[in-house]
Amino acid sequence: MAEFIASGHAIDVILFLIVLEAGFLLLLRIRYGRGPSPLESMANLASGAMIMLAVRSALTGGSWQIIAGLLMASFAAHITDRVLRFRSTG
Q: How far is CA 76 from CA 50, 53, 59, 67, in A?
A: 10, 15, 23, 14
85 has pLDDT over 90 = no
pLDDT-based confidence at 90, cuts 50/70/90?
low
3 has pLDDT over 90 = yes
Axis crossing angle, helix 64-88 with helix 38-59, rounded to the nearest 10: 160
| Stretch 29-40: mean pLDDT | 89
The number of beta carbons lying within 10 Å of the beta carbon of residue 15 is 16
- Domain locations along the chain: 2-88
Of 1 and 70, which is predicted with more confidence?
70
% of the chain exceeding 70 in pLDDT: 99
pTM of the shown model: 0.88
pLDDT at residue 66, rounded to an integer: 98
Q: How far apart are CA 62 and CA 90, in angstroms?
A: 41
